Structure formats: structure tokens, C-alpha cells
Amino acid sequence: MIPLSEAQQHVLDQCEQLPVVRVPIRSARGMVTAEAVFANEQIPPFDNTAVDGFAVRAADLASASETDPARLRVIGTIAAGAAPTAPVGAGEAIRIMTGAPMPEGADAVAMVEWTTIDGDDVLIDRAVGVGDAVRGAGEDLQPGDAVFAAGVELSPGHLGVLASIGVYEVSVVRQPVVGVFSTGDELIEGSQPLKPGQIRDANRHTLLALLERDGFEVIDLGIIGDDEALIEAAVQDGVSRCDAIVTSGGVSMGDYDYVKAVLDRVGDMRWMQVAIKPAKPLAFGTVAGTPVFGLPGNPVSSMVSFELFARPALRKMMGHSQLQRPIQVGSAAQDWRRGSDGKTHFVRVAIDQDHGVFSIRSAGGQGSHQLTAMAGADALAVLPDGDGVEQGAPLEFFFINP
Ligand code: AMP
Ligand code: MG
């Protein structure tokens, strides 16, 4: 068996970042910037008011109070989107709406809530400071400022910033197109009654959904029987259309485990026995330069193997620098007994949170075929080799959702 970190490094070393593409911001959410983006205008583009109210000269309101309001003559109105026409002189005010440009002469805005209209005048019952309620031009961005660095995952907020500076196309790292197939003569698709020995394919649906959740494009390559020629054809078809392939089943020590045999023959493969439970076997290789992840068939194992090997590598391909899930520490809500077997165990757990304090309990049956506990798990807890942990002991874990 080899340590998990060695297996992960081996996989990462062979997965290269994909080429840079320009995409419309409408399709760029979740993608990673390939280069820094610079502002070419200032944001906000002009001094404008943060509130609805009256543009004034602060000096005119210096002694204003509720008992002795200042009286200013209202000489006009500026709506958002309009250009100011006249300057504000001493003893004058202009009614102004949020987002409208500040007129010349004015240096502050008094909120409408502090004012009363009296004929052509406005009475303002408190003083304001120079600059109050004014959003200065360029407060957020100046021309030449780096808006984002390279390597940033574009969030909805980022896309709004790009739109605000008139950048509607952005250079990002292309996200991998990932083909998925399941292997096994026992697998069927559909709700028809099972014939003896048959089960329904679970892994392909899980893996396709995991990939989509993580921002990858998917191609469903179906179910392939335990037949070397068919598996080889599926691999060749997959590598011709995809940037990576994820398969499940056929990588252990059974008589019909042909995935590793095929990868060994047509690719550059390493078959690894990783010191973890579940998901000990992993057949990882490249076929014509395309990474192929031969994950184990047991449904929990295939998900755990996806989390530990495929997800980080695919994230690297799409330009992420944070590849692994961040490790957290919580407290075991129960005893976890285990025997020493040279492996790190990944336990399916539910996390109860109280003000950032994590309490960790089992999510259910821990067999590698028991997918329900994996489905209900918030996280995988990391139980190091040894005899386990006691209730109350610190325990490392990482969230696996979303
Ligand atoms: P294998 O890795 O091919 O030896 O499969 C290990 C176990 O996982 C066997 O019990 C298989 O029937 C089961 N298995 C393999 N592939 C799938 C799948 N796609 N969905 C559900 N169970 C599977
Ligand atoms: Mg099989």
C-alpha cells in the first residue's frame, strides 16, 4: 500500500491545466481567471449622491438644528441618469435622487427625511459635513487598478464588477469535459425487475452529478459490460471526446476486473493500493495524454475516491489553486473504535454546528456498499490508523457538500 499523499501527488502531477479561453461573462460563473483584469475607467464614474435628498453647500447648514432649521431656495431637480444643469450657489439647494450626479457648487447631500418643503424653499433641520452622502468618483476602482488577479474563481459578485466596467468577455481556464462510464456485467439501468445477480447502476448517476456540481461539463458514456474489447472501445471513444474520463468498477483483484488491464495496455497506468478505507484500489493513467480515473466499483468507494483523487485533479485542470477540501477539526460525539490496519479510515459523518463548534456523529452504516449514509453525510471524518478515538476527542474532517 502507498500513502494517500503519494497517490494524490502522482495523480496531480499528470493533470495539466487546460488552455485559456475567452467566454462571455454570462457563462463564466465558477470559472477561474487566466489573467488579471484591469479597470480602464473609474468606478463610480462620477461623484453622485448615496441618498434621496438635497444637494447643498455644507457651510449653509453649519448652524441648522431642529429648532432653527436652515432655509435654502430649491433651484431644480436632478434624477438618476440626468446631467446637472445649474450649479448650486450659496443659500441654494437642488433636489437630487440616489445615483444622480452631484451638481457643481454642492459638496454634501442632506437626506430628504431631514427636510420640509415650504413653497419654493426647503427647511433642513440638521448640519451636514463636507462630503456627507456623496459617493466620490473612483472610490471603488481607478483606471489601471487590478480588478481581480489571475486564479480567481468568478462569483456572481465578480461578474457584476466586470459588467460595471464594461468587460463582457473574460479570459478563463477552460473547464474539463469529463466522460463517465460504469463497468460491470451485473449493472442495468431502469426500474424493470432485476434478474438474478443484477443490480442497478448507481455510480454513473452519482459521478455525473458530482462533476456537474463542481463545475465540470459531462458526457454520459453509459454502462459497459465486463469485456476487454468493449472497455477499450469506450476508453478510446472517451479520450477522443473528453479532457478526462471517470470510470467505476473493474479495478480490484477480481477475475473480470478489466479496466486496469485495458488502461495498462493502451495507456500509461499506475495501479495503486492506497492506504485508505474505503477506496483502496485506484487505477489512474493517461491515454493519449488524457487522464483516466479508474475508480473502485463499490458506490461509497467510488464517491470517496472521486473526492480524494478526481476532484482535486480536475480542479487543477480548470485553474484552481485550492485543490483539496479544507480540513476542519471538531469533537467526536461518540466513540469510534477501529483496529490498526495501516490505513486511514474515512468515516461518513453528520456535523452538528453551534457557533462554529463542530460535533461529529456517524451518518449511518459504514459499509462501502451502503450509499445511504454517504448520501446523508455532511462530511468525511479522518480516523487515523490506530485504535480509534473516544467520545469528546478532537477529530479532523472535511465537508463534502456542496
Ligand atoms: P468492482 O469494483 O467492479 O469489483 O465492484 C465492486 C462492487 O461494487 C460490486 O459489488 C459491484 O456490483 C458494485 N458496483 C460496481 N459498479 C457499480 C455501479 N455502477 N453501481 C452500483 N454498484 C456497483
Ligand atoms: Mg465489476
- Measure 61 CA to ligand 2 centroid, in angstroms: 82
pLDDT for 13:
98
- Measure 296 CA to ligand 2 centroid, in angstroms: 8
Give the residue-averaged pLDDT of 360-386.
97
Taking ligand 2, which is a single-atom ion, which protein residues have CB atoms under 5 Å away?
184, 249-250, 297
Report d(CA 302, CA 399) in Å as an integer.
17
Phi-psi region of 70 (alpha: psi -120 to 50; beta: other; left: phi over 0): beta
pLDDT for 152:
97
Which of 298, 368, 369 to mutate to test ligand 1, by most ligand atoms within 8 A of the CB atom?
298
Helix residue spans in 242-326 (DSSP H): 258-266, 299-305, 311-317
Atom of ligand 1 nearest to the CA of 257: 3
Q: Which of 79, 78, 56 is nearest to 69 (CA)?
A: 56
pTM for the whole structure: 0.93
Q: Which of 76, 130, 122, 129 is nearest to 103 (CA)?
A: 76
Give the residue-averaged pLDDT of 52-62.
98
- Measure 185 CA to ligand 1 centroid, in angstroms: 10
Please indicate whether residue 299, judged by its CB atom, sits closer than 6 Å to ligand 1: yes
- The rounded percent of the chain whose pLDDT value lies above 70 is 100
pLDDT band, very low/low/confident/very high, at 344 (cuts 50, 70, 90): very high
55 half-sphere exposure, CB direction, 13 A CA radius: 30
pLDDT for 221:
98
Helix (H, G, I), strand (E, B) or coil at 209: helix
Atom of ligand 1 nearest to the CA of 298: 8
Q: How far is CA 401 from CA 125, 319, 362, 378, in A?
A: 54, 21, 16, 6
Please indicate whether residue 226, judged by its CB atom, sits closer than 6 Å to ligand 1: no
Please indicate whether residue 224, judged by its CB atom, sits closer than 6 Å to ligand 1: no
Alpha-carbon dihedral sign for residues 242, 244, 245, 246? negative
Which of 195, 228, 248, 301 to mutate to test ligand 1, by most ligand atoms within 8 A of the CB atom?
248
pLDDT for 341:
98
Atom of ligand 1 nearest to the CA of 281: 2
Q: Which of 319, 314, 261 is nearest to 290 (CA)?
A: 314
Please indicate whether residue 267, judged by its CB atom, sits closer than 6 Å to ligand 1: no
**Contact call for residues 381 and 346 (beta carbons, < 8 A):** yes
Q: Which of 157, 166, 174 is nearest to 38 (CA)?
A: 166
Take atom 8 of ligand 1 and give the residue whose Cα is closest: 298
**Contact call for residues 382 and 394 (beta carbons, < 8 A):** no
Tell me the residue ranges of DSSP E strands in 132-186: 134-135, 146-148, 169-173, 177-183
Please indicate whether residue 186, judged by its CB atom, sits closer than 6 Å to ligand 1: yes
- Measure 244 CA to ligand 1 centroid, in angstroms: 21
pLDDT band, very low/low/confident/very high, at 378 (cuts 50, 70, 90): very high
pLDDT for 362:
98
pLDDT for 150:
97
How far does Cα 316 stand from its chain's mean position? Answer: 13
**Contact call for residues 216 and 243 (beta carbons, < 8 A):** no
Give the residue-averaged pLDDT of 329-349.
98
pLDDT band, very low/low/confident/very high, at 265 (cuts 50, 70, 90): very high
Alpha-carbon dihedral sign for residues 34, 36, 37, 43? positive
Reported as a single tens digit per residue, the pLDDT across 217-240 is 999 999 999 999 999 999 999 999
Average pLDDT in the chain: 97
- Measure 248 CA to ligand 1 centroid, in angstroms: 7
Ligand nearest to the CA of 181: 1
- 26: CB partners within 8 A, 6+ apart: none
Give the residue-averaged pLDDT of 239-263.
96
> What kind and span of H or E run contains 118?
strand 115-118
